[in-house]
Each structure stands twice: as structure tokens, then as C-alpha cells.
Structure 1
Amino acid sequence: MSSQTQLARITPKHSQIEKQPEQSGSQLSKKHKAAIIVRFLLNEGAEVSLSDLPDAQQVELTYLMGRMAYIDRNTLGDVLLEFAHELESIGLSFPGGVSGALSALEGRISPMTSARLRKEAGVRQIGDPWDRLRALSIPELQELVEAESIEVAAVTVSKLDVGKAAELLSSLPGEMARRITYAVSLTGAITPEAVDRIGLTLASQMDDVPPKAFVDAPVDRVGAILNSSTAATRDDLLSALEETDADFAEKVRKTIFTYAHIPARVEARDIPRVAKEIDDATLVTALGYATEGEAGATTEFLLDSISSRLADQLRESIEERGTVPSREGEAALSVVTTVIRELESAGDLKLIAQDEGEE
């Protein structure tokens, strides 16, 4: 158990504080011992965060520290030893209340169950609401701001990092961005309590959003499926999508990354790294299968982008391999594009941005 958790147990919970004379460690109340420990940690330069304690406990602890005079060395030693012993004697601690339990189980129970339990118990997400709001993406912030008054939007912009605030304003309609910018100049007299209330209100709106069954958007999920499909299946499904929903089909096309897209999306200098991540047999199968059209052009691009020695070895292996069955060839092409995607996700290469009009 952390020292802060233990402090929460021994911090005073009554609003009335009486002056306590200096006495031995065994005679001190728990609230006085808490004040001593906090003071000692501060003197030693420790970072002590008490903001998670209830407001009443923070207030009483502050008043108590202001009323105490001094503690002799023997008493300080007794209090610290008792505190250390109590910490060591604790084998396991549980989070207090439903809120603490939900936070401890975050990511381990389903989002739907978590949302239902929070709603039933009337528990909001813990922590600084502005930290949660600052973590939102620009599209999410844009949606949030556009639904609020200009005054609330001005406070929100003021609580963001400068760079993110500028990016958010740039994404908003010009007239709204100008009104929010002017409203920021009027926030000088707003109280911290009002800012906290606004943050809690906005965060509660986030908590009220029903959990989504799928993390990725539909267009990304369909694109991922088609990326792993054979060329014939992919073309057939895209044609069917275009007949049903041309706009959705166009968005899906932009998420697709196939073997034929490699020359336009991958820098030649990154190809040796890609080839290194693919076993020789799979690479030979892919290159031996993709010999015509756009796929053939990609094969030549790959061979031209690696060392001459390796390229010659692969050409010899391709000739020895002979004709590649369609099933094996398509599977090998899928491995090549999957490796490139994995390298991109790991930050080992960066795909060239696709032009808006490019398919």
C-alpha cells in the first residue's frame, strides 16, 4: 500500500479541530500523526499529492498543520516507526468503494459492464476531468465544443495545451473560432470552482456515451478484411459496395493497402528492411507469383530496391520455383503487405501519404 493510501486512512475526518499539545508518539491521535508524516515528507523534498483525498480531509489537515507547533525527535521517530510498521504489516489492500474497484478493473471487465455499474452506482470517472478532456482527439473535441455555448468553449480552449488549442480552433468554422477567441479574453474573472464545474459537466457527457462494441470504425474494419482477401474477392466486394454505397466504398478504397500499392506508398530505402522481415521461401513465392500488370511492376520495384547480389539470388530462386499456385501466391502477397503494416505500426517505417484523389 502506498504512503498516500495509508495517509487517507489516518487523515482526520471530523471538521472540528482542537489544539493538541506536544506529547509522546503513543499518545498522539491518528490525525496528528498524519500531519506529522506529511510535514516530514515535505521537509525531505518528497512529492506528496493529497488532491485525491476528500476536500474535507484536505481542509482539516491544512488547519491541523497550521495549529501544531513542534515535535521532538523522539516523538517523530516513534510516529515514523509506527507508520512504517503499519505499512509493512499490510498484506493486501482493496480500493475503496465501487469507484475504486471499477478503476482497478479498468480494461479487465467489458466496457458495457463497466458503464452499467457506474450508472447503477452513480459513479463518475475519477481523476481530473480536464486531464480526460485534454486526452481527446481533435475531432472529439470539435464535436464537444460545437455542442456547447461559446463561453464553455472558451474555457475548454483555455484549458488545452497551446498547440492543441490552435489545432482545435483551426478545425472549427471561421465565425465560431473567432467568437471563441474573443470569449477567451472574457475569462479572466472566472473562478476555479466554475472551471471545475464545467470540467465535471463535460466529463459527465463523456461518461454518458454508450460503450462501443467495436474499437475501429466500420470503414477500417472492412478495409482490414479486404486487405487480407484475394485480389478477385476484393475487387468483387468493392464493386458490390460501390453499387450499394459509393461514398462508403470510396472510403474503404483509401484504407486498402495491397501489393500493387507498395511502389507508391513505401520508400525504396525501406524495402531492404521489409525483405529482411520476410522468410526467403515466402518472398520467392510472392515475387514468383506477381509477374504481370501492377503486381509485376511492384515485383520489379522490390528487386531494384535491394542489393544486386540479393536480387540475383531471388531471381534464380524464382526461376527454380517455377509456376506458383494462386492460393499460395495470394497468401504470400498478403504476408508482404502485413509485414509492411506491422513495421509501420512499430514506427520502423512511414508510409507515403496517399493523395486525396488516389485510389
Structure 2
Amino acid sequence: MAPDRRIDRRSDRGLVTLEPALPQRLGLSPREKAAVIVRYLLIDGTVLPLASLPEHMQAALTEQMGQMRLINRATLDEVVTEFLTELEAVGLSFPGGIEGALRMMDGHISPSAASRLRRMASASSKVDPWERIMVLPVDRLLPILADEAVEVGAVMLSKLPVTKAAELLGRLPGDRARRVAYAVSMTGQVDPETVRRIGVALLAELDNQPPRAFDTGPVERVGAILNVSPALTRDDVLLGLEAEDAGFAAEVRRAIFTFVHIPARLAPRDAPKIIRLVEQPVLVTAFAFATGKPGIEDAAEFLLSNISQRLAQGLREEMAERGKIKDKDGEEAMSAILNAIRTLEAGGEIVLRQDEEE
């Protein structure tokens, strides 16, 4: 009997059509089994992160699926069972790819070793350089966008996430931003291989930059130092900076967060969180020291006005009983309140508003 014939037979239940059985497929290759599993999961509506695979693997998988036709149920059950068995037997997994390995080893290997490994990975044709470029911080990408040809900048903007591209464009000088934006209109005919080569070149340039000795920039470091310096020292240093470099001094001033900035940058609803972290005698010392002093008195009153009135009244009564407070003790008490604010900000429990001057 030919295998593709349909046979109609009479039975007690009426006319029965017998379909020819699908041939049993034995000895599937690993790639064929992968195609079966992917097809099965897609039918079930599972969202698979296949885009995270290297492009050559995506292409091989897609080509394999295009070559296959029918798989009978017995073969499907066998492949799924084998897949689940292997999945349950996994005891340890690795990130896959040099970038994942470097993220895992961050802090355990030297920056020079990490840089060398990244250069080796970027030279491989199987690695998409834009995967690394897209996750780099804006501060590292901005010099590239400012110095490279506008056509290269246009390709980079086109590959980056929209929000990051918008931030970069906003930080360019007006004329440069307009030229790069116009160049984006001419990228429609750029082929994928050219885009990949541009990414490889940019990544090589980024990797050749010497490792930074400090995690933060000079403005942030000077601002952090002056944040905990006595007011007289802070004012004297800022005056000296303004005489030497007015632009740098202005950036440092914006980076500083001191007691006088509390009303402008702290949300009123966050005042109770700050008060809970500081011991009451320290609060009394800071608030009493601020009394009668322009600027810092407003900050103390801001905190007192945004906590429970019963607690505020108790603090005011203790403040009235305090005598003259030494400058050193007052500065230390205010620093304790500022440290509590920075602790909560670092932990994500509060968000400081941006200074209106920024």
C-alpha cells in the first residue's frame, strides 16, 4: 500500500478515514533538536530571548527551522523529554560570552586584564560590538560623538537606545548637534556590515583609553570633600577656585550639598526619615547652633516644620535650654544630619531635587 494513500472503510461507527502515519524520525542532530524545542515553545506562546544569541547562531537556528517539515508526536515527546532531563541535570551555569564573564569577574581581575580581554573579544567577527557600546555610560560616549566624523556619530546615535541618544544629543554644542542629527537622515542605505565595522572601530578606540584611577570626576570629588569641610574652609576654597577657574568653581558649587541646601533639595515628606536616623541630642545641638544664623536657620526650621508637631515642640524646648554651642560641635551635628540624608539617598529611599541653578 502506498504510504500517501487515504483509505475509507466502513465500521460500526460509520465511515472512517485512515491517514498514513508520519514516518518516525530517528537520530536528530543537536541543531535539529534545538529547532524542535524552539518551535514547540513558540507554539505555546513563550517569549524567547533569541536576539541575545550571537547573530550566526540566530541565523543557523532559523535556517534549520526552514529546512524541517513534520515531526511525529513520538519524536517530539522524545526530544522534549531529553531536553527536560538535561535541563534538570544542570548544576552550574556560566554567563556565556566574554562580556558576561567580565561582569562576573568585575572586582576580581585587574582593569588592564579586563581591557585586554575586551580588545580580544572585539576583534572577533562573531561578537556584536554594539552590545557593549549601548550599555556604556553617556560620559564615555560623549567624547566619541563630539570628535568623530558626523557620519560616524549619526550611526552611533541610530544604534543607541532613544533615551540615551537624546541625552547625548542634548549635551552637544548646538551646531554639532544639528549636523549629527542631519547626518542621521543619510544613514538609510548603510549596510549592516559597515555598521558592524564602525562599531568595532569605536569599541577599539574606547578600549584603548587608559583606565581611570578614580571612579568619579574631579568636580564630584572636590564637592564631596567640601561637603564635609567646615563652612569657613569651604567658602575660602570656593573663593580660591573662582579666582583660578570660574567655570570649574561653578560646577563644584552645583555639586555641593550642605545644610543650607536642605530646603531647596529635600522633599518635605522625607524630613521624618532624616530625623529618625539622627539621635535627638545631635538634632538639638544642630538646630540650636543654627538659631539666628542666616541660611542654616531656615534649614533647621524646614526640618522642624515637616515632622510631627509633638516631636518638634519637644526639640524646641530642649533647644531653648541649651547654652552657647561651640562652632566645632555645631558643625559636627549638622554633618551628622547631612550624612543621614546621603545615606538615604545612596540607598534609594529618598531622591534629592536638582538645584534650580542647574
Decide: shared fold, TM above 0.5. yes
Q: Are 2:24 and 2:74, in contact at CA under 8 Å, matched by a contact in 1? A: no
Residue 289 (structure 1) aligns with: 289
After TM superposition, list the pairs within 5 Å mapping 1:24-173 onto structure 2. 24-25=25-26, 27-51=27-51, 53=53, 55-94=55-94, 101-119=101-119, 122-124=120-122, 128-136=128-136, 138=138, 140-162=140-162, 164-173=164-173
Residue 205 (structure 1) aligns with: 205
How far apart are the structure 1 equivalents of 2:93 and 2:268?
Answer: 56
Indicate the larger mover: 278-287 or 33-42.
33-42
Q: Are 2:98 and 2:121, in contact at CA under 8 Å, matched by a contact in 1? A: yes
Indicate the larger mover: 226-235 or 214-223.
226-235
How far apart are the structure 2 equivalents of 1:149 and 1:73?
Answer: 57
Residue type at the aligned position of 1:355: E
Structure 2 residues not aligned, in runs of 5+ = 1-21
How far apart are the structure 2 equivalents of 1:54 and 1:142?
Answer: 27
* Shift, 1:115, TM fit: 1.7
Residue type at the aligned position of 1:35: A
How far apart are the structure 2 equivalents of 1:127 and 1:104?
Answer: 18
How far apart are the structure 2 equivalents of 1:54 and 1:273?
Answer: 47
Residue type at the aligned position of 1:211: P
Question: What is the TM-score with the length of structure 1 in the denominator?
Answer: 0.76
How far apart are the structure 2 equivalents of 1:148 and 1:113?
Answer: 27
Q: Are 2:254 and 2:357, in contact at CA under 8 Å, matched by a contact in 1? A: no
How far apart are the structure 2 equivalents of 1:350 and 1:100?
Answer: 33
How far apart are the structure 2 equivalents of 1:76 and 1:157?
Answer: 45
* Residues 291 and 83 of structure 1: CA distance in aligned 2, closer, same or farther (over 3 Å): same
How far apart are the structure 2 equivalents of 1:310 and 1:96?
Answer: 56
Q: Are 2:278 and 2:340, in contact at CA under 8 Å, matched by a contact in 1? A: yes
* Residues 91 and 351 of structure 1: CA distance in aligned 2, closer, same or farther (over 3 Å): closer
How far apart are the structure 1 equivalents of 2:166 and 2:243?
Answer: 40
* Shift, 1:283, TM fit: 0.7
Question: What is the TM-score with the length of structure 2 in the denominator?
Answer: 0.76
Q: Deviations 1:267-326 (Å, cap 9, x if unpaired)? A: 556544533443322211211233342334543444455554433311221233434444
* Shift, 1:74, TM fit: 1.2
Indicate the larger mover: 34-43 or 318-327.
318-327
How far apart are the structure 1 equivalents of 2:174 and 2:329?
Answer: 54
Whose radius of gyration is greater, 1 or 2?
Answer: 2
Q: Are 2:122 and 2:200, in contact at CA under 8 Å, matched by a contact in 1? A: no
* Residues 323 and 196 of structure 1: CA distance in aligned 2, closer, same or farther (over 3 Å): same
Residue 333 (structure 1) aligns with: 334
How far apart are the structure 2 equivalents of 1:167 and 1:95?
Answer: 30
How far apart are the structure 2 equivalents of 1:32 and 1:341?
Answer: 56
Residue type at the aligned position of 1:156: M
How far apart are the structure 1 equivalents of 2:36 and 2:117?
Answer: 38
* Shift, 1:207, TM fit: 2.5
After TM superposition, list the pairs within 5 Å mapping 1:216-227 onto structure 2. 216-227=216-227
* Shift, 1:53, TM fit: 4.7
Residue 348 (structure 1) aligns with: 350
Q: Are 1:133 and 1:203, in contact at CA under 8 Å, matched by a contact in 2? A: yes
Q: Are 1:22 and 1:70, in contact at CA under 8 Å, matched by a contact in 2? A: no
How far apart are the structure 1 equivalents of 2:190 and 2:111?
Answer: 36
* Residues 54 and 77 of structure 1: CA distance in aligned 2, closer, same or farther (over 3 Å): same
How far apart are the structure 2 equivalents of 1:85 and 1:156?
Answer: 44
After TM superposition, list the pairs within 5 Å mapping 1:253-292 onto structure 2. 253-266=253-266, 270-292=270-292
* Shift, 1:238, TM fit: 4.3
* Shift, 1:32, TM fit: 2.7
* Shift, 1:58, TM fit: 4.0
How far apart are the structure 1 equivalents of 2:178 and 2:239?
Answer: 44
* Shift, 1:217, TM fit: 0.9
How far apart are the structure 2 equivalents of 1:323 and 1:200?
Answer: 66
* Residues 57 and 315 of structure 1: CA distance in aligned 2, closer, same or farther (over 3 Å): closer
* Shift, 1:334, TM fit: 0.3
* Shift, 1:82, TM fit: 1.6
Residue type at the aligned position of 1:316: E
Residue type at the aligned position of 2:91: G
Residue 311 (structure 2) aligns with: 310
Matched pairs, number:
333
* Shift, 1:148, TM fit: 1.7
Q: Deviations 1:80-99 (Å, cap 9, x if unpaired)? A: 11222222223234466866
How far apart are the structure 2 equivalents of 1:233 and 1:240?
Answer: 11
Q: Secondary structure at the match of 2:286?
A: helix
Q: Are 1:344 and 1:351, in contact at CA under 8 Å, matched by a contact in 2? A: no
* Residues 314 and 210 of structure 1: CA distance in aligned 2, closer, same or farther (over 3 Å): same
